[in-house]
Structures are given as C-alpha cells and as structure tokens.
C-alpha cells in the first residue's frame, strides 16, 4: 500500500506581491492627492479673500475635537478591556460553550483588544468634531447681563454653556455605557462572570470594575437630571415655552430629588465595589426607576389635574408674564410702540393733503411683475438676464429720496446654446454689465418704467458718477467659474458689452483686480483642473501667469463661507455705493435656547408668496438678531462684514472665535448707510411673533381673544402676503421715511379668518446717511391697533371688491380683448387720510411668447369706496371727491383720451364735468350697468353648470351692455 503526499501549495511570486503593494500605495497616494487638492483649493480661496483664519480655525477645531473624542472614547474602552482581561481568573472552570467561544476569539484577541477601542474611537471622534462649534462657543461665551426669571442665571448660560454641558454629558454617558458593555462581555468570555444553575457568580476584580463603571454612569445621570432642570426653561409646554406652575412646583423639584437620588445610588455601587454586596445598589436602582415614574409623571399629573386646571390663570399668571416679557426681548420687539387707531372710512375732498409726501412715493411698479418688461427693454442680447423679481432700493437724487426698482444685468450662459463651449463659458463670457434702476412711483405714457439708470454702455445718474464700475463679475447668476486676468499690454479676450444692432461689434476688456486665486503656476492649474474636472484649465493657452480663477460667485455663498455662523437673509439686493455695485446681505445670529421665549419655525415664518420654500439648518428658533450687515463687491468679489448689532452676545462670542473678521459699524461709509435697510426675514419673524405677542400682559395672552395672523396674498391665496418697502409717514411720525409694513387680520384655526384689518405694523427701515452711525429711529416698530368698532376691509376683502365690481370687471374685460392677459400687482396698504388706503396697479401683457407687462390702470380703495383710473394720481382724485389734496408720482403722465369713470361716479350725458369731479350717473347708464352685471352673473352660472348655450347667450348680452356703456362715453373705446 502506497501513499501520496498532498501537493505543496504554490507560493505567490515576489513580483506579484510587489505589484500589489505598489498598486495599493499608488491608489492611496491618488486618493490622498485628491483630498489634498480639495483642501488646498479651499485654502487658496479663503486666503485670496483674506479670510484664511476662518478656514484654519475650522480645521484646527475639528482636528482637536476629533482627537479629544477619539481619545475620550478609545482610551477608556481600551482600559476597560485590558483590565477585564488581565484580571480574569486564571483557573476558572468554563463551560464547553465558553471554551468554543474562546477558541474562536483567541486568534483575534490582540486585534480585537486594539480594534474595538479604535472602532468606537473613530465614531466618537467624528461625533465630537461635529460639535466643535458648541464647544468653541462655550469656551468663548460672554455674559448677557440678562438673567432668567426662575434660577437667576445669566442667559448666556443657556445660549452657550447649557448646549455644551448637554453634549458633554451625552458623550460621557456613551463612553461609560460602552465600557460597561465591553467589560461585561470580556468578563463573561474569560470566566469572571459565570451564569448557570440559576446562579450568577462574579469575581472580585470584575465586581469592582463593573460596580465602579455603573457608579460613574449613575453619577453622570445625576448630572444630566440636574441639567434637565435648566432645560425646562427652553422646552415648549402646552401654552408657553418654559415651566409654568406645574413645572416650577412639581417637575423641577422632582428632577432635583432624582438627581440627588442618582448620586446616592452611585455611592452604593462604589460601596459594593468594596464590600461585594449587590443587593443594596440593585434595590436602590429599582427604587430610582420607580421614583422617576412617580416624580416625573405621576406627581406633575396630580398637580396639573387637581390644582392647575381648576385655577389656571391664578396659578399660571406670573409664568405667562415671564413668557410674554422674554419673548419680546428675544425677538427684539420689546420696543414696540402701539397706538390705538380709529380709522376713517369716508373719503372726502382734500383728505390726503397732509400726506402729500407719502402719496408722492407710492410704488406702482411691482418688482414681481415688471421683470419681463425690463428684460425686453434692457436685455440687448440673449445672453443677459435680470433678477425675477426685481429688487427695491432708494437713492438720493437732487436732495430728494427716490424709491426705485433695481436689478443688475447678469449673464445667462444657457442662452449661448451650441456656442457654450469651454472657451466661451470660461474665458470670453465672464461678467454681466450695468445696473438698471427705475422709479417705483412713476410710469411712461405707455405704462413702461421710467428709467433712471439704463443701457449699454451704462447711462444715467449712477454712471455719471466718477469712477463708476458697471461690470458684474460676482452675482446671483454668474458662471460656475471664469478665468480672467492677463499681462499688461495683452489683447483683451473678455466680452465687455456688445455695440450696435444684431451682429454689431463688441467691446472687450481684461479684469484688473484681485478677485480669485491665482492659477499662474502649473501646480495651481492642476489643482483647479482636478477641482472642476476640466483639463482645459491645465492645457489652455488662455491661462497665463497672471490668470485668476473666479468661483463661488453667488453673494450668499461667499458670505456664508466666510461667516458660517450666520443665517443669511433670503433677499440680497444690489446697490451702487461709492461708485461700485455691491450686494448687501443681512446676516442673523440665531438660538433655540433663550429661556422662556416661545419657539418659531423660521421656515414657516418667512415663507410667503415671494419666498415659498426656504430651508434652514436651525429651523425652530426662539432668539434672533440682525447682527451683521455684509457687502460683496460685484466687480472683485471682496466680502466685508460689519457688526451691525454690537450688543448681540452671540455675535460677540463668534467674534472671539473668529477674531478680526468683522469690522465695527464705525467703518461703514455714509453712502453704504444710506442703502442698508431693515431686513425682510427678520420683519417676517417679528410679525409672526406679534400675531400672538402684540399683547403686553398675561391676562390678554391667556384669554387669547385677540390673536392675529398675516393675511394671504390676494394674488396667491394659499400663501402669505409679503411685507413691502415704501416711503411713508406713520401716524405720530414727523416726516415720511423709508419703511416696511404688513397688516393683520383676526386669527382663525379653521382657516376661515374674517378678512378685516385688526392691526397694521411698520418698521423704520432707514438707517440714515451718517458714516458709522444708525439713525435714531432705525428699527423702530410702530403698530396701529385698529378700533374694533370700525370695520376696515382686509386685503382679501378689498381684492374681492375689486374683482366683483361690475364697472371694474367690464373694463378688465376690455383690457383682455385680443391676446392679452391682465395681471394684478401688489396690493399696498397705506395709513393716510386718517384711514387706510389700498393701492393696486393693474398690468396688461400679451398672452403670446413675448411678455411685456405694461401698467394700464390703478385700483384704489378707501373704506367702502373704490376708483379705477389710468394713473394713480387720477384714481386718488376720483376717490377723494375730485381732488385728493396730494399728488402721486405719476401726476405728469398724460391721461388716455376719453374719460374713465370711477365706479359709482359716472358723468351725466351732455355734461362736461371738471377733471376729477364726480357726477351723478344717468338712468340709461345705470340700466346698462345693471344689464352688464346680470349678464356676468348669468355667464358665470352657466359656466359652472356646463351649459354652453346659456353661456353664449349671456356672453352676447354682456357684450351688448359693454358696447352700450362705450356708446355712452363711460368707457374707453
């Protein structure tokens, strides 16, 4: 019998090992280089902008926190495993099952003893690095000099320290829990803990280790319970944020008792580590759990049910007042100036005489509608575009403040089509050109905007300034990246602007300035070729030693990167400041930890028809400040941050984290001050808060009998009406000023709110024109509380009145003749003439491909009276007895031939009334008007019923009635 030995397995060749190792090293180097390229590109961007300290601070903080988190988890876990293994019983008798476990584990023991701590350490490190901002804020936090009404602690504790302590307690709890689990596992595997025959045996070493860890864990839980006492001040309750009577007298004392009980149980575990008796700590732990149920749930329920609910206001009054006062403070509405307002509803001649300065600046050019008009008139080439909607600003022209509608002319590379190759997209089409500004309160005879600044090359009151720079390299629609710059004397390649008509010439330019990182070196070109995955950057002859690459060009992106702690306003706007086009952006500091302040959803508060779907990292807030005003130069992209609210403790803390990045307000020029304004999103948050918290006392808050809400936009009924900027004079003000306003109607949980005005809120948005100094009244909130005995229609009711009026409807039908659409503009509300005036421009545009909305009519309403005329000036005169006593901004516009009657004020046949004088309507006209109204109602009923024959018959009757009105001279032909 012969045997054959098994073949010897082949040994891998040395060359294969070398190749495999080499490939692995090369792959690792490639990955490392890509990571380095991304980090280095970031550094170049920040360094060029002068904010490299921001990036370095973030890198250092993340690395430090990762190391702390890694070591904080890995070292205790490693120590727990080592102690459990080294102190195992050497001669323990193990079960056969444990023997098999050890056989499996033993070959991997060394790897596991190091790998498990490293594994958990990495997770902890990444978790800790994500908390670096919380840690740095705690370390750099400042006192606010405002104390909470319950514990008497500085509110800075809640803003900065409490979030850090919460994160620290959570981290230490996780570390101890992992240590407890791995200790129990290792002790079981190596016989220190034996379970069998209804018996649990624990060796002395394991007992000490497990008891000490358990005791430490309970000590941390005691600290957590103690911290929970303070957290109650920022937790929403059933009516208010913060503890009420039940919270103060039941929940907080219960948490205090449980915290001390947890410490006592922890001490019992430490005693067990010495004397070896588990009974006492285990019984104490069970009692602690029962106590937590009784003190945390049972006792508060008893107090709430049998004490608070039968006597709610008597017991909760002081806590409601705390909530009202702290909410006012947290949202900056504590300086609200309220005024009872008995609105006049009857329109009389000369009623607007004292409000002439306000009526002169009423904006009839709706920035949300006229963008297509501006585009048609000012685009010049398909590769230009304008913002939609346009922005609102104001300029001082010949000593008079002029409200304007503005937009910069930016690139639209999508319109290049097949010509959008790399050279055109990155080298030739690099920037937009010029800013367009039109009067907000005026129109041409054709209904177009009256431009103050326009054209290519730029012309107007702005470009007449010395050293005006019209080029826009940094904007909201700038290309992803552009390569600019060349040695002096080189032939320009960048398109500056076109000249002549279609196919005309072009003026070219070369960027001069410091706008982006240099890519003059081969290494930097390689870095950005990798970043943008564009090999052309590396090989193109258009890239030279003086080239710069411009990217991250959106103003919001640039400010967010250099100030990551800010939440930015959703509406950046361009202004010309000292000859440069700059983007002005408002930055907010937020918190969700202000004691006794009610929480608001930021996204819901600022969502309206102009901003339908915002999203934020921190949405539920209870503290907000407009702490920073930022500017981005449209030519070179330079970013400047100004400390607008230098008293804001959150900003002060971030300034300690990022020193030298924010300039003091004293550095703001006079011209910049004249263009900054009260921010839109802050005002929206404040109006949301004031819907409930316009009351000052606890009783009014408790009764909830006067809650308000923002009305829906009449043009988008499912969304809120946005606030509007206007130059106006509120009752009690000495002079008109640039302001923002909103209105309130009664609140309704069922969605069927009564659409009458209850309140009117305006804020002084004019920061003044003195360098480094705010105007005294800037940010002053003024509220008109409308007398309940006077019914003033709300925006929805006014819009319905406009739409339902037979004469207005007839004229609208005439405007719709042919291929035309009628667009209702923004419905403005102004406190003039002792009451509230509504103004709505009406635009007409073609329903075809070319959209060119032109202002054709203006609707106005005061009380229950309305007027519908060609110009605002005519409409006001018609509404107020033939002479309003004031002139609107369009008073120089020549009226359209043929008189347009005001509803209810038509001329008597055969009579020639004085301009603007209302006359008594004739019987014939009244009959025709009645026929038109009946025909309209019949037509609508037939349409709803689907009766086409009846619809056609009613339509014929309506046409006949309208023709009769035209024949009488009542309507424009």
How high is the pLDDT of residue 8?
A: 52
Q: Rounded distance, CA 743 to CA 752, Å? A: 17
The mean pLDDT of 571-593, rounded to a whole number, is 95
Q: Which of 8-12, 216-220, 450-454 has the lowest mean pLDDT?
A: 8-12
The mean pLDDT of 260-269, rounded to a whole number, is 94
Tell me if 279 sits within 8 A of 260, measured CB to CB: no
Which residues lie below 8 Å from residue 529, measured CB to CB, with a gap of 6+?
Answer: 535, 536, 537, 538
How high is the pLDDT of residue 580?
A: 94
Helical H segments across 674-761, by residue range: 680-693, 698-703
How high is the pLDDT of residue 946?
A: 66
Residue 814 scores a pLDDT above 50: yes
How high is the pLDDT of residue 299?
A: 94
Tell me if 590 sits within 8 A of 618, measured CB to CB: yes
Give the 3-state DSSP-derived string for 861-890, with helices as H, strands as E and coil as C: EECCEEEEECCHHHHHHHHCCCCCCCCCCC
Work out the burial of residue 76: count CB atoms within 10 Å of its CB; fewer than 13 is exposed, 13-18 middle, 19 or more buried: buried
Q: Rounded distance, CA 769 to CA 676, Å? A: 10
The angle formed by the CA atoms of residues 115, 117 and 121, to the nearest 5 degrees, is: 115
How high is the pLDDT of residue 751?
A: 61
How high is the pLDDT of residue 899?
A: 41
HSE-up (13 A, CA, CB side) for residue 41: 20
Which residues lie below 8 Å from residue 355, measured CB to CB, with a gap of 6+?
Answer: 729, 830, 832, 833, 886
pLDDT band at 828 (very low <50, low <70, confident <90, very high): very high
Which residues lie below 8 Å from residue 218, measured CB to CB, with a gap of 6+?
Answer: 262, 263, 265, 266, 269, 285
The angle formed by the CA atoms of residues 813, 816 and 818, to the nearest 5 degrees, is: 125
Backbone angles phi, psi at 396, to 5 degrees: -90, 115
Residue 223 scores a pLDDT above 90: yes
Q: Which of 170-174, 312-316, 354-358, 760-764 has the lowest mean pLDDT?
A: 354-358
- Model confidence pLDDT, tens digit, residues 635-690: 999 999 999 999 999 999 999 999 999 999 999 999 999 999 999 999 999 999 99
DSSP letter assigned to residue 233: G
Total Cβ atoms within 10 A of residue 848: 10
Q: Rounded distance, CA 346 to CA 359, Å? A: 18
How high is the pLDDT of residue 900?
A: 46
DSSP letter assigned to residue 660: T
- Model confidence pLDDT, tens digit, residues 800-813: 988 888 888 888 88
From first CA to last CA, the distance across the chain in angstroms is: 124
The angle formed by the CA atoms of residues 710, 712 and 718, to the nearest 5 degrees, is: 130
pLDDT band at 104 (very low <50, low <70, confident <90, very high): low
How high is the pLDDT of residue 929?
A: 67
Tell me if 862 sits within 8 A of 347, measured CB to CB: yes
Rg value, the chain, Cα: 36
- Model confidence pLDDT, tens digit, residues 2-56: 555 555 555 557 788 888 888 899 999 888 988 899 999 999 999 999 999 999 9
How high is the pLDDT of residue 915?
A: 37
How high is the pLDDT of residue 639?
A: 97
- Model confidence pLDDT, tens digit, residues 848-882: 767 789 999 999 999 889 999 999 999 999 999 88
How high is the pLDDT of residue 922?
A: 59
Residue 176 scores a pLDDT above 50: yes
- Model confidence pLDDT, tens digit, residues 886-944: 999 888 887 554 444 455 443 333 333 343 333 445 567 667 766 776 776 676 677 66
The angle formed by the CA atoms of residues 436, 442 and 443, to the nearest 5 degrees, is: 80
Closest CA to 866 of 902, 822, 890: 902
Total Cβ atoms within 10 A of residue 104: 9
Backbone angles phi, psi at 506, to 5 degrees: -135, 140
Q: Rounded distance, CA 71 to CA 390, Å? A: 54
Tell me if 923 sits within 8 A of 906, measured CB to CB: no
Q: Rounded distance, CA 692 to CA 701, Å? A: 8
Closest CA to 651 of 570, 563, 559, 583: 563
- Model confidence pLDDT, tens digit, residues 938-967: 766 776 666 767 767 777 777 777 667 666
The mean pLDDT of 437-466, rounded to a whole number, is 91
Is this prediction's pTM over 0.85?
yes
Closest CA to 117 of 179, 205, 186, 188: 179
Which residues lie below 8 Å from residue 119, measured CB to CB, with a gap of 6+?
Answer: none
Q: How many residues are there in the chain?
A: 973
Residue 973 scores a pLDDT above 50: no
**Across 158-172, 204-218, 863-877, which has the greatest mean pLDDT?**
158-172
Q: Rounded distance, CA 568 to CA 616, Å? A: 10
DSSP 373-428: HHHHHH--STTEE--SSPEEEEEEETTEEEEEEEEE-EE-GGGGGGG--HHIIIII
Q: Which of 362-371, 520-529, 786-795 has the lowest mean pLDDT?
A: 786-795
Q: Rounded distance, CA 156 to CA 140, Å? A: 11
The mean pLDDT of 229-243, rounded to a whole number, is 93
How high is the pLDDT of residue 810?
A: 81
Backbone angles phi, psi at 610, to 5 degrees: -95, -10
How high is the pLDDT of residue 251?
A: 95
Q: Rounded distance, CA 780 to CA 125, Å? A: 47
Q: Rounded distance, CA 572 to CA 410, Å? A: 15
Token pair, residue 811, equals 């004229």
Tell me if 241 sits within 8 A of 235, measured CB to CB: yes
DSSP letter assigned to residue 949: H
Tell me if 772 sits within 8 A of 665, measured CB to CB: yes
- Model confidence pLDDT, tens digit, residues 381-412: 889 999 999 999 999 988 888 999 999 999 99
Q: Rounded distance, CA 90 to CA 97, Å? A: 18
How high is the pLDDT of residue 111?
A: 82
Q: Which residues pair with 589 in a beta bridge?
A: 625
Closest CA to 809 of 918, 909, 958: 958
Which residues lie below 8 Å from residue 351, measured CB to CB, with a gap of 6+?
Answer: 344, 833, 834, 880, 881, 884, 885
DSSP 199-225: EEEE-HHHHHHHHHHHHHHHHHHHHHH
Q: Rounded distance, CA 146 to CA 332, Å? A: 14
- Model confidence pLDDT, tens digit, residues 694-730: 999 999 999 888 899 999 999 888 899 999 999 999 9
Closest CA to 89 of 205, 180, 210: 205
The mean pLDDT of 170-191, rounded to a whole number, is 90
Mean residue pLDDT of the chain comes to 88
How high is the pLDDT of residue 904?
A: 42
Backbone angles phi, psi at 269, to 5 degrees: -65, -40
In the chain, the percentage of residues whose pLDDT exceeds 70 is 89
- Model confidence pLDDT, tens digit, residues 117-128: 999 999 999 999
Backbone angles phi, psi at 190, to 5 degrees: -110, 20
């Amino acid at each position: 019998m012969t045997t054959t030995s098994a073949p010897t397995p082949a040994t891998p060749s040395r060359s294969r090992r070398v190749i495999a190792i080499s490939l692995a090293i090369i792959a690792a180097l490639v990955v490392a280089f890509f990571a380095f390229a991304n980090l280095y590109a970031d550094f170049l961007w920040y360094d060029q902008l002068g904010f490299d300290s921001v990036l370095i601070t973030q890198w250092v903080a993340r690395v430090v926190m990762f190391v702390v988190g890694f070591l904080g988890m890995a070292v205790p876990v490693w120590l727990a495993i080592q102690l459990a293994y080294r102190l195992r019983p050497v001669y323990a008798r193990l079960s056969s099952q444990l023997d098999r476990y050890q056989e499996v584990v033993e070959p991997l023991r060394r790897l596991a003893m190091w790998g498990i701590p490293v594994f958990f350490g990495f997770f902890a490190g990444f978790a800790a690095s994500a908390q670096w901002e919380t840690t740095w804020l705690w370390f750099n936090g400042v006192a606010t000099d405002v104390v909470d009404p319950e514990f008497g602690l500085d509110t800075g504790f809640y803003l900065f320290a409490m979030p850090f302590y919460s994160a620290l307690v959570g981290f230490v709890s996780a570390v101890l829990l992992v240590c407890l689990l791995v200790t129990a596992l290792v002790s079981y595997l190596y016989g220190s803990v034996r379970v069998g025959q209804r018996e649990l045996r624990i060796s002395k070493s394991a007992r000490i280790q497990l008891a000490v860890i358990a005791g430490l864990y309970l000590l941390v839980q005691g600290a957590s319970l103690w911290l929970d006492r303070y957290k109650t001040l920022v937790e929403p309750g059933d009516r208010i944020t913060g503890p009420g009577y039940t919270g103060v007298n039941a929940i907080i004392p219960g948490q205090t008792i449980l915290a001390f009980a947890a410490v006592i149980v922890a001490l019992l575990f430490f005693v067990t580590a010495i004397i070896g008796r588990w009974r006492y700590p285990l019984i104490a732990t069970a009692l602690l759990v029962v106590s937590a149920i009784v003190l945390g749930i049972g006792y508060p329920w008893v107090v709430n049910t049998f004490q608070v609910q039968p006597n709610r206001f008597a017991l909760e009054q002081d806590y409601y007042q705390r909530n009202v006062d702290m909410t006012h403070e947290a949202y900056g509405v504590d300086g609200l100036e309220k005024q009872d307002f008995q609105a006049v509803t009857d329109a009389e001649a000369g009623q607007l005489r004292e409000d002439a300065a306000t009526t002169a600046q009423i904006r009839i050019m709706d920035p949300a509608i006229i963008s297509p008009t501006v585009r048609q008139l000012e685009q010049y080439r398909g590769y230009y575009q304008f913002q939609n909607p346009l922005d609102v600003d104001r300029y001082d022209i010949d000593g008079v403040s002029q409200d304007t509608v503005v937009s910069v002319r930016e690139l639209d590379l999508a319109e290049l089509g097949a010509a959008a190759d790399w050279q055109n997209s990155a080298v030739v089409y690099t920037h937009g050109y010029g800013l367009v500004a039109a009067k907000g309160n005026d129109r041409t005879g054709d209904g177009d905007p009256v431009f103050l600044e326009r054209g290519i090359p730029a012309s107007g009151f702005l470009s007449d300034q010395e050293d005006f720079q019209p080029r826009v390299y940094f904007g909201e629609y700038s290309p992803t990246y552009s390569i600019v710059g060349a040695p002096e004397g080189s032939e320009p390649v960048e398109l500056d602007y076109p000249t002549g008509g279609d196919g005309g010439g072009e003026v070219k330019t070369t960027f001069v300035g410091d706008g982006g990182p240099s890519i003059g070196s081969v290494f930097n070109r390689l870095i950005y070729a990798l970043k943008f995955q564009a090999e052309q950057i590396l090989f193109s002859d258009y890239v030279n030693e003086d080239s710069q690459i411009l990217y991250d060009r959106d103003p919001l992106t640039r400010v967010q990167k250099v100030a990551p702690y800010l939440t930015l306003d959703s509406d950046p706007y361009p202004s010309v400041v000292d000859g440069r086009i700059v983007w002005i952006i408002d930055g907010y500091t937020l918190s969700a930890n202000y004691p006794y302040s009610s929480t608001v959803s930021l996204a819901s508060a600022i969502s309206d028809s102009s901003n339908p779907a915002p999203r934020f990292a921190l949405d539920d807030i209870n503290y907000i400040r407009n702490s920073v005003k930022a500017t981005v130069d449209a030519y070179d992209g330079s970013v400047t941050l100004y400390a607008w609210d230098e008293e804001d403790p959150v900003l002060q803390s971030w300034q300690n984290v990022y020193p030298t990045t924010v300039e003091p307000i004293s550095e703001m020029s006079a011209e910049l001050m004249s263009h900054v304004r009260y921010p839109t999103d802050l005002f929206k948050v404040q109006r949301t808060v004031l819907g409930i918290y316009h009351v000052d006392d606890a009783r009014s808050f408790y009764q909830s009998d006067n809650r308000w809400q923002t009305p829906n936009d009449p043009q988008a009924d499912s969304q809120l009406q946005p606030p509007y900027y206007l130059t106006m004079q509120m009752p009690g003000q000495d002079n008109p000023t640039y302001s923002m306003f909103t209105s309130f109607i009664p609140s309704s949980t069922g969605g069927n709110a009564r659409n009458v005005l209850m309140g009117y809120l305006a804020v002084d948005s004019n920061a003044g024109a003195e360098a480094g100094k705010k105007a005294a009244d800037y940010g002053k909130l003024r509220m008109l509380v409308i007398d309940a005995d006077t019914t003033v229609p709300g925006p929805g009711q006014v819009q319905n009145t406009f739409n339902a009026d037979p004469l207005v409807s007839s004229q609208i039908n005439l405007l719709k003749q042919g291929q035309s659409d009628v667009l209702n503009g923004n419905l403005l509300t102004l406190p003039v003439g002792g009451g509230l005036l509504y103004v709505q421009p009406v635009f007409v545009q073609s329903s075809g491909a070319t959209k060119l909305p032109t202002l054709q009519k203006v609707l106005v309403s005061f009380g229950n009276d309305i007027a519908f005329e060609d110009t605002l000036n005519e409409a006001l005169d018609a509404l107020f007895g033939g002479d309003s006593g004031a002139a609107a901004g369009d008073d120089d516009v020549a009226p359209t031939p043929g008189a347009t009657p005001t509803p209810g004020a038509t001329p008597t046949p055969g009579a020639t009334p004085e301009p603007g004088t209302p006359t008594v309507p004739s019987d014939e006209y009244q009959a025709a008007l009645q026929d038109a109204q009946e025909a309209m109602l019949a037509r609508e009923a037939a349409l709803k019923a689907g009766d086409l024959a009846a619809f056609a018959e009613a339509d014929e009757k309506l046409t006949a009635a309208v023709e009769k009105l035209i024949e009488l001279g009542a309507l424009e032909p």
